[in-house]
Amino acid sequence: MGKGPRDKRMSIEDVVAELSDGMTIGIGGWGPRRKPMALVRAILRSDLKDLTLVSWGGADVGLLTRAGKVRKLVYAFVSLDSIPLEPNFQRARQLGTIPEVVELDEGMFQTGLKAAAERLPFLPMRAGLGSDVLVNNPTIRTVTSPYDEGFGFEELVAVPALNLDVALVHMNRADQHGNATYLGPDPYFDDLFAMAAERTFVSCEQIVDTAGLTIDTPVQRLLLNRMMVSGVVETPNGAHFTTCTPDYERDERFQRAYAAAAGGTDEEWAAFEQRFLAGDEQAYQDAVRAFTEEQQS
């Protein structure tokens, strides 16, 4: 049976085929939490290059910078939580292999996404004033408020819009039309990524009937509506090794193995790549399952 007019189901490979060199790609989630890692791994396997990456970063940033696919990185932090600094990102920064970096205060990062979502060139805020964010990013300018509201004609940071060509986010559940919900404790600004982007692709743990999106789930957790979404991909365990609460938590054993390889020799990283990243997504999941069984034996 053919797909209906609002059926937006795609494969991982279909999504990557929609991307092109030089794109600005926003990756949702937060550090090591609910990242669209199956889509990130697919980008890793592709020939894509010269990307601008916008992310509250975790292993998504680490993997793509290690692979040399990132021309420009816009970030507020890059962390694995229990490992404070993502080791592949740390290596890339120390070696200077990311041609252009823009580091923002977390609030400035959010404001940049909000400006893009509202189709504004910038939004004003106080965060960043007097900080080295402006010293290290001299292209970020200040503006003077035209209003005297008891603060005088206040100087504010003019945070530029973080306009995205594409946003990639991972959700717990979605329907075939692109409506999507999170079941964990936090939306992680994924709706802002979607609204800041020209197109959004959602990976999810399970595609369900539309009515099933609100069963035993508060309606306010329906974070993305179909008008925001260009395509949806069912990717069970697709956020691994990050969290996707309540479906699963972060795989700390695997994360430690990843960090050890990333911080080790080139040979150790090559061995990790060969075992876990050389094949397709099913090969990755099979290798992770074998790794887990080894650790438990």
Domain map (residue ranges) of the chain: 12-105+162-296, 122-160
The structure tokens listed for 17 are: 């085929």
- Other CB atoms within a 10 A radius of the CB of residue 143 amount to 12
Beta strands in the chain (DSSP E): 24-27, 51-57, 70-78, 100-103, 122-125, 141-148, 153-160, 164-174, 180-181, 197-207, 231-234
**Residue 70: which of 79, 85, 60, 80 has the closest Cα?**
60
pLDDT (mean) for 108-122: 98
- Classify 56 as helix, strand or coil: strand
Q: Which helix (H) or strand (E) holds 110?
A: helix 106-117
* CATH for the stretch 12-105+162-296: 3.40.1080.10
Higher pLDDT pick, 216 / 95: 95
Overall pTM > 0.85:
yes
pLDDT (mean) for 242-249: 97
pLDDT score of 212: 85
For 259-285, the pLDDT digits (tens) are 999 999 999 999 999 999 999 999 999
Position 157 pLDDT exceeds 90: yes
Type of residue at 150:
G
In this structure, of 2-6, 228-232, 282-286, the range with the lowest mean pLDDT score is 2-6
How many helices, marked H, and strands, marked E, lie in the chain?
Answer: 10, 11
Phi-psi group of 77: left, alpha or beta (phi > 0 → left; psi -120 to 50 → alpha; rest → beta): beta
Position 1 pLDDT exceeds 50: no
Instruction: Check if the beta carbon of residue 27 is closer than 8 Å to that of residue 35.
Output: yes
pLDDT tier at 149, thresholds 50, 70, 90: confident
Burial class (CB in 10 A: 0-12, 13-18, 19+), 267: exposed
Instruction: Check if the beta carbon of residue 242 is closer than 8 Å to that of residue 79.
Output: no
pLDDT (mean) for 3-10: 83
